[in-house]
Structures are given as C-alpha cells and as structure tokens.
Amino acid sequence: MHEMSRREMMRAFGLGGLGVAMAATLARGEDKGGTAMPVAKPQAFTLPPLPYKSLDPVIDDPTLALHHDKHHAAYVAGANKALDELAKAREAGDFALVKHWERDLAFNGSGCALHTLYWNSMWPGGRGQPAGALAEAIDQSFGSAAKMQAQFAAATKAVEGSGWGILVWEPSTTRLAVLQVEKHQNLTIWGAVPILVCDVWEHAYYLKYQNKRPDYVESWMKIIDWESAAARFGAAVK
C-alpha cells in the first residue's frame, strides 16, 4: 500500500497509537526494504472528530457529546500539558516534579489513545461480523466468537472501579487476549495491540444506564464495528 494512503487509513481507523513496529521503523528512518524515510516529527496530542453523529439508542446523544467534547478533550489537554511541563523541566535541568508529570503523561496519554480506539470500536447499529483472519484468530485464541464475546463482556462488566475492556493482539504469544484495564494505564501487557475497546468509566454510560453497567455492556456488544476491528487486526499481524 502507498505510504500516504496507509497513514490516512491508520488515522481513519484509530490506529495512530498502535504501531510499535511501525514506530520503530520510522525511528530507524527506513522501511523494510532499507529505503531512507523521513523521521516523523513529534506532534501534540489531538482530539479527532467523531466518525459518526449518533449512536442512539445504545449511547444517548448527550453522553456521546459530553464524553467526546469534554472528557476526551480534557485528556488531550492534560497530556499536552504534561509534555510541555516535561520539556520545561528538561530545559531547566530541574526534575523535582518529574514523578508527577510522568504520571500525568501516562494517565492522560493513555486516555487519549484509548478514547480514539473506543470511538473507532463502535458504529451505529454495529457493522459487520468477525470474518477472515480475525475470525480465525478469535477461534484459535478463544474457541469461538461467542466465547470471546462472553469473556469480553464478563471482563468488562467486572472492571474494578473505572477502566476498560480491551481485546488485544499479543505479539510475543501470537494470540488474541482480553484485558481488564483499570483507569487507563493499569493492568496492560506491554506490546499488546488494542483491537476492540469498551469504556466503562461511569461518564460513558451513567446518564442512560445509571448503575446498570452490565446493561450498557450488553447493548455495546451489539454496536461493535467489526470492519474497523479487522483493519486494526490486519495492521497488527503484518
């Protein structure tokens, strides 16, 4: 695929944060063929627009608007603030507050990455089914799509406090796995590539579902964007 269109595709499907191998390639300034490539310049965190106008009735419009325009935006602002403060500390050679700002960067930066993936894990009314290589990998890792979805929903409902249910590709064991992430950054596997992401912070569902998180998760399972998931899976296993 042409480099420009691949970059556009990755942005469209919320793949911007996943490319460990690709980032390493960019950092080396070469592609697999050894051709010289420009090293990407550092950029600020940004708030991507929602890929749709509404997810009603599964997610009500006020929740969607608040979640994207206020909560996700706050993670973007927080992550950029942490980057700025760390740059100032480097300039001044004063790392007295480094623990605070690194913690902020991990929290808000992970919030940015996961929210972008969350928006791209859903489609109004759902889209597609697990198919092709993704379906094969799901069968191999979980036994069947139904078993994977049962584990994903159970793990997501059982997140302690605020967090996420995440289907990941784990490259070192070449298997798909379900993570039950607390906050945005705890209980991950380094190198794991997110394929499907469900937000179970209360701000994601409380206006409509109140304390009934299981009802939200069950409804959420019906609006999964399997086409976008397949694109992320394809990029992860490449």
Closer to Mn ion at the Cβ: 152 or 205? 205
Assess 104 for contact with Mn ion (CB under 5 A). Answer: no
Number of residues that bind Mn ion (CB under 5 A): 2
Closer to Mn ion at the Cβ: 153 or 204? 204
Query: Smallest distance, Å, CB 108 to Mn ion?
Result: 12
Closer to Mn ion at the Cβ: 184 or 232? 184
Residue 89 tokens, joined: 């500390």
Question: Which span sits near Mn ion by CB under 5 A: 54-62, 119-127, 151-159, 199-207?
Answer: 199-207
Which residue sits closest to Mn ion, CB atoms considered? Answer: 199
How far is the CA of 51 from the CAs of 67, 128, 218, in angstroms?
A: 14, 16, 22
Q: Are 199 and 164 in contact (CB under 8 A)?
A: yes
Query: Smallest distance, Å, CB 122 to Mn ion?
Result: 12
Query: Smallest distance, Å, CB 72 to Mn ion?
Result: 7
Query: Smallest distance, Å, CB 102 to Mn ion?
Result: 22
Return the SS3 of 211: coil
Query: Smallest distance, Å, CB 83 to Mn ion?
Result: 21
Which residue of 75, 101, 142, 201 would you call a contact of Mn ion, by CB under 5 A? 201
Residue 211: partners with Cβ closer than 8 Å, 6 or more residues away? none
Q: Are strands 163-170 and 193-199 parallel, antiparallel or unpaired?
A: antiparallel
Residue 165 tokens, joined: 């249910």
The site string for Mn ion over 144-183 (x = CB under 5 A, - otherwise) reads ----------------------------------------
CA distance 24 to 27: 5
Assess 45 for contact with Mn ion (CB under 5 A). Answer: no
Read out DSSP for 22-40?
HHHHHHHTB-TT--B-PPP
Assess 199 for contact with Mn ion (CB under 5 A). Answer: yes
Query: Smallest distance, Å, CB 203 to Mn ion?
Result: 6
Rg of the chain in Å (alpha carbons): 18
CA distance 99 to 85: 12
Question: Which span sits near Mn ion by CB under 5 A: 28-36, 89-97, 198-206, 213-221?
Answer: 198-206
Q: Could you tell me how many helices (H) and strands (E) the chain has, helices first?
A: 10, 3
Contacts with Mn ion by CB under 5 A lie at: 199, 201
